[in-house]
């Protein structure tokens, strides 16, 4: 029962990836695309932890943590770039 | 004195994070973690005089314990608010950027206030300038600065005021 | 415990989806940011908590807690940086916005 619900949740998160992906492709301005990217990375972090649970490899949680760190730095760098160029 | 307490505070935070990352495996990991935390804290504490703005008082500690609860409540409300707006066929918004004034003086207090505002219903800090915050509000109900300040910042301000001043 | 965890994860994934939907449907950059920041923050918190308290081979609830704390701390910062950059880059608010104090100020 619980496993089924976990699987359904993963599929809903995948649907969220597709939804945000549409904005990533369509977004009229750069800022729109960066927001979509930010949302995508957060969903991806959740999905990585989900995979860690499913495959029983705790080490993947560390991967998710590093990914969250890097995406934060990336978004802030993008914001800086938007503001005045690199 | 100030510098010593900053170093100790940073050391404690770093060590706690390290222990959490290693599942509190005290036998193997405590000693190297403590050494590295001490080195990093000694190097970086002088640049972090922002930490000394924490007011160590019993009332401040009590408010510090209550604040996360208040914050989580606002966060849940924010999410229900956003969710209820997004699912409607025609999104009900009247957005705008309003200017609000905060009475907080410390930098740390203002940082936490700005971040808390961003995670509460319908508000997003766009720009700060001294004691004024420019806030994108998804549903502007009162364009007046006094009233907007009361509605947006008062919830958190009364806690942060005691903790940081 | 596993069932409670799975239900938390389900709620979290729904919020993540609503956040993504908000990013898709909202009319301008700032409103999209509102949806993208708030809904995904709580969504991730619930999703990760659900996995953390559910069945896992070893205890790693602390690592998940650190991850959650990190997301609470960084998510508003990145969206604030982005909003400020967007406003400075000259992206205006959508039609039908009430007012823009920052615009008249600058």
Instruction: Say yes or no: B33 contacts chain C, CB-CB below 8 A.
Output: no
Those residues with Cβ within 8 angstroms of residue A76's Cβ, 6 or more apart along the chain or in another chain:
C77, C78, C81
Average pLDDT, chain B: 81
Residue C35: per-residue pLDDT: 84
Of C37, C60, C105, the CB nearest to B23: C60
> Across the interface, do A2 and C6 touch by the CB < 8 Å criterion?
yes
Q: Where are the domains of chain A?
A: 2-84
pLDDT of A85 higher than 90 = no
Cα dihedral: C77, B81, C30, B86 (round 10): 130
pLDDT digits 0-9 by tens, B44-95: 877 777 777 676 777 778 888 888 888 888 888 888 888 888 888 877 777 8
Cβ-based neighbour number of residue A56 at 10 Å: 11
List the single range of B92-96, B100-104, C99-103 with lowest mean pLDDT. C99-103
Residue B142: both structure tokens together:
């009162």
d(CA A46, CA C41): 11
DSSP string, B43-84: HHGGG-GGGGGS---HHHHHHHHHHHHHHHHHHHHHHHHHHH
pLDDT in tens, A7-36: 999 999 999 999 999 999 987 888 888 889
- Complex confidence, ipTM: 0.88
For chain B, give every domain's residue range.
2-53, 58-164
* DSSP sequence for A1-70: -HHHHHHHHHHHHHHHHHHHHHHHHH-SSHHHHHHHHHHHHHHHHHHHHHHHHHHT-THHHHHHHHHHHH
> Searching chain A, which residue's CA lies closest to the CA of residue C75?
A72
Do the Cβ atoms of B91 and C27 come within 8 Å?
yes
- Interface mutation vs chain A, best among C40, C77, C92, most A CBs within 10 Å: C40
What pLDDT sits at residue C97?
64
Least confident of B53-57, B97-101, B135-139: B53-57
* A72 neighbourhood in chain C, CB within 8 Å: 74, 77-78
Q: What is the mean pLDDT of residues C33-47?
A: 87
- Amino acid B165: pLDDT: 61
Shortest distance, CA B136 to any CA of chain C (angstroms): 7
- Measured between CB atoms, does C43 come within 8 Å of chain B? yes
The per-residue pLDDT of chain A, averaged, comes to 88
Residue of B76, B127, B138 lying closest to C84 (CB–CB)? B127
Neighbours of chain C (3+ CB pairs under 8 A): A, B
Per-residue pLDDT at B1 exceeds 70: no
């Amino acid at each position: 029962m619980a496993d089924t619900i976990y699987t359904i949740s993963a599929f809903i998160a995948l649907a969220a990836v597709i939804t945000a992906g549409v904005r990533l492709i369509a977004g009229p301005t750069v800022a729109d695309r960066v927001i979509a990217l930010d949302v995508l990375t957060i969903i991806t972090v959740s999905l990585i932890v989900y995979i860690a649970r499913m495959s029983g490899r705790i080490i993947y949680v560390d991967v998710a943590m590093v990914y969250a760190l890097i995406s934060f730095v990336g978004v802030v760098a993008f914001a800086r770039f938007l503001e005045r160029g690199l | 004195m100030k510098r010593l307490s900053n170093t100790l505070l940073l050391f404690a935070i770093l060590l706690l994070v390290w222990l959490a990352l290693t599942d509190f495996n005290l036998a193997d990991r405590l000693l190297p973690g403590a050494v590295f935390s001490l080195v990093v804290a000694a190097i970086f504490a002088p640049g972090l005089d922002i930490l000394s703005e924490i007011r160590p008082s019993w009332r401040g500690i009590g408010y510090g314990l209550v604040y996360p609860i208040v914050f989580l409540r606002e966060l849940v409300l924010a999410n229900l608010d956003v969710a209820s707006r997004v699912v409607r066929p025609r999104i009900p918004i009247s957005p705008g950027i309003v200017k609000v004034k905060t009475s907080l003086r410390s930098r740390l207090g203002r940082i936490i206030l700005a971040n808390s505002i961003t995670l509460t219903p319908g508000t997003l800090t766009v720009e700060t300038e001294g004691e004024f915050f420019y806030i994108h509000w998804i549903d502007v109900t009162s364009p007046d600065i006094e009233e907007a300040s009361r509605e947006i910042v008062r919830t958190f301000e009364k806690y942060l005021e005691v903790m940081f001043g | 415990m596993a069932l409670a965890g799975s239900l938390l994860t389900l709620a979290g994934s729904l919020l993540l989806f609503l956040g993504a939907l908000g990013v898709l449907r909202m009319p301008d950059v700032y409103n999209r940011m509102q949806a993208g920041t708030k809904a995904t923050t709580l969504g991730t918190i619930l999703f990760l908590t659900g996995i953390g308290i559910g069945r896992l081979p070893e205890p790693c609830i602390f690592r998940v807690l650190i991850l959650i704390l990190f997301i609470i701390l960084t998510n508003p910062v990145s969206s604030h940086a982005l909003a400020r950059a967007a406003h400075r880059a000259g992206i205006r608010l959508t039609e039908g916005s009430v007012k823009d104090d920052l615009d008249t100020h600058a």
